[in-house]
Amino acid sequence: MTPSASPGLTRLNEAAPPLLSRLLHEICASTAWGASIAAGRPYARVDELLAAADTAMAALTAADLGEAVAGHPPIGRPAPGDPASAREQSGVRDEERADLLRWGLAYQDAHGHVFLICATGRSGAEMLAALKERTGNDEATEREIVRAELGKINRIRLTGLVRRLAEEEPS
């Protein structure tokens, strides 16, 4: 372990390829993104890991972004058994779910994929307003917004992963 590396980052750096692949896929469903993060190891500090995540996100093709977005549940309907999506969408009140789902379907019809937004810290009303606003975006504009939102999600999830790995008992 480097002097400034956290125990969680050290565990990520030292993870066997199959485990690392699974952990990174839980963060982002893009194979290219995960491969880029894996190839950049070892990371001396979390900020280096996050910078690598940003660089990998910027390099994703439209197809790679599609793969990443396909790994996310619709807003208002967290994936069953997925505590990350449930936690991230915790700002949605029951009475907002129907509107989010209805507008989410309109968005999906317009763009061919689920609406993606970094839901952490946002209320259901804020997400619904963004959903309504973004439904009319052209493909290129929306792709770059999705890229930015996915980057935010990945940063939050990576930071949480490093924290969880630090808290685990050594095997």
pLDDT tens profile 46-80: 999 999 999 999 999 999 999 999 988 877 665 55
Mean of pLDDT over the chain: 88
Share of the chain above pLDDT 90, in %: 70
Q: Residue 108 pLDDT more than 70?
A: yes
pTM for the full predicted model: 0.86
Six-digit token string for 44 = 């001396």
Greater pLDDT, 79 or 137: 137
DSSP for residue 112: S
Distance from C-alpha of 87 to C-alpha of 120, rounded to nearest angstrom: 8
- Count the residues in the chain: 171
Tokens at 157, concatenated: 């999830």
d(C-alpha 68, C-alpha 62), whole Å: 10
Closest alpha carbon to 82 in 91, 72, 96, 92:
72
Residue type, 99: D
CA distance 63 to 30: 9
Radius of gyration, CA atoms only, the chain: 17
Predicted pLDDT of residue 128 = 92
Max CA-CA distance within the chain?
51
Cα separation, 105 vs 46, in Å, equals: 37
Position 171 scores a pLDDT of 59
CA angle 74, 164, 161 (to 5 degrees): 50
On whether the CB atoms of residues 9 and 46 are closer than 8 A, the answer is: yes
d(CA 92, CA 63): 29
DSSP letter at 78? P
* DSSP conformation class of 77: S
Q: Which domains does the chain have, with CATH numbers?
A: 7-167 (1.10.3330.10)
